[in-house]
Amino acid sequence: MILNIALLPGDGIGPEITRQAVKVIDAVCNKKGHEPRYREGLIGAVAVEKTGDPYPDKTHKICMSSDSVLFGAIGDPRFDNDPAAKIRPEKGLLDMRQKLGLFANIRPLLTFRPLLHMSPLKREIVEGAGFLTIRELTGGIYFGEPRGRSEDGNTAFDTSVYRRDEIKRIAHLAFDFATKRDNKLTMVDKANVLATSRLWRESIKEMEKEYPRVSVDYMYVDNAAMQIIRSPRDFDVILTENMFGDILTDEAAVISGSLGLIPSASVGDNTSVFEPIHGSYPEAAGKNVANPLAAILSASMMLEYAFGLKQEATIVKKAAEASLKEGVVTKDLDPDMAKGTSHVGDFIASWINRA
Ligand code: IPM
Ligand code: MG
């Protein structure tokens, strides 16, 4: 099989972790007789520097003509500390999501046995936990109009907008995931306050009869934030809007022990994008210390979801688990015996060669 992959390494640690993911894709493709073909595009602060645009047209074309996109990270502190910056690197990510129509972001909470002691939660609470958050990604307060400032500059506003068809499109996906898992869906909203949340709730209620096997819970987001740390095992599939999903998925990620471990998939109308959920970690850029596992596990998700290569995806997952089991890990997971980013990538690639 030929795999046309767009590579968008982006900022900070993006390039070095993406390089490890490529190593791993190459290893598994080599083993199974597939041919990956990569084309690289600029995104984020590096794209602003080189082209003035955080998501240049050329990059968009590369994405549109690829089967799938592997994305690194975005963000640069030089822009963060400048509230007046006209162009923000993050805009590149938001533009990409919107232009590629990536309406659903799938973020798993994963727990790994060898890492249970790294979780900020007690072992007995976190052991066996594992759920998926399906986050709406192209609507809500991230994109709603009007947004901006009043003329005198003293008032700022953002608008949250959702349409029923937009809600139902992603809800179908969430129900489908639930039927493949434990038939349990939790709709997280703020229906006691927000009109958009009430439309979400109403729309999901209408859909319940189409999925009689799935039991649906409705939970306010403040309560959900609490229940996720109190009892993460109670969740199977969480469905939520853009901003709540942004917040809850960082909370969920840290339960696994390190933000450096969690991959994600964004699916859309035109293509799909796979990316670590962590940011660009600028302090570590170029130092060969960042954890490449989220990028490598994103590659595994890509093999499975974008190309249907389930076996190949499983090999990559097993290889990543082997690195954890054998302690070939970066310093976020083991400050004393830490290995470099590329060392972990090499270990995983050669584990696959031997498998
Ligand atoms: C994420 C990030 C982005 C978001 C930022 C970088 C715009 O936090 O992917 O979760 O808020 O969606
Ligand atoms: Mg986020």
Question: Do 274 and 237 reside in the same domain of the chain?
Answer: no
pLDDT tens per residue, range 61-112: 999 999 999 999 999 998 877 777 788 899 999 999 999 999 999 999 988 8
Question: Do 236 and 185 reside in the same domain of the chain?
Answer: yes
pLDDT tens per residue, range 140-198: 999 999 999 999 999 999 999 999 999 999 999 999 999 999 999 999 999 999 999 99
What CATH number does the domain containing 233 carry?
A: 3.40.718.10
Report the pLDDT value the prediction gives residue 80, as an integer from 0 to 100.
79
Q: pLDDT confidence of 233, banded at 50, 70, 90?
A: very high
The whole-chain average pLDDT of the chain stands at 95
Question: Do 305 and 218 reside in the same domain of the chain?
Answer: no
Question: Do 195 and 130 reside in the same domain of the chain?
Answer: yes
Residue 158 falls in the annotated catalytic set: no
Burial class (CB in 10 A: 0-12, 13-18, 19+), 30: middle
Helix, strand, coil in percent for the chain, rounding step 5 = 50, 15, 35
The first and second tokens of residue 199, run together, are: 């439309």
- Domain interval for residue 72: 1-101+269-355
Question: Do 279 and 251 reside in the same domain of the chain?
Answer: no
Counting the structural domains of the chain, the total is: 2
pLDDT tens per residue, range 241-263: 999 999 999 899 889 888 889 99
In what side-by-side order are the strands of the sheet with 132-136?
35-40, 2-10, 68-73, 272-276, 263-267, 104-108, 132-136, 237-240, 184-189, 215-220
Shortest CA distance to 47 belongs to which of 14, 70, 82, 3? 14
Residue 222 falls in the annotated catalytic set: yes
**Could you tell me whether strands 148-149 and 156-157 are parallel, antiparallel, or unpaired per DSSP bridges?**
antiparallel
Final residue before a domain boundary, out of 256, 278, 308? 256
Question: Do 163 and 241 reside in the same domain of the chain?
Answer: yes
How far is it, in rounded angstroms, from Cα 187 to Cα 268?
Answer: 21
Report the pLDDT value the prediction gives residue 84, as an integer from 0 to 100.
75
| Active-site option among 190, 317, 332, 339 | 190
Three-class DSSP category at 305? helix
C-alpha 327 to ligand 1 mean position (Å):
30
The first and second tokens of residue 113, run together, are: 């046995």
C-alpha 180 to ligand 1 mean position (Å):
27
Residue 142 falls in the annotated catalytic set: yes
Question: Is-above-0.85 flag for pTM?
Answer: yes
Report the pLDDT value the prediction gives residue 303, as an integer from 0 to 100.
98
The binding-site residues of ligand 1, defined as CB within 6 angstroms of any ligand atom, are: 74, 90, 93, 246
Question: Do 169 and 244 reside in the same domain of the chain?
Answer: yes
Does 109 fall in a domain?
A: no
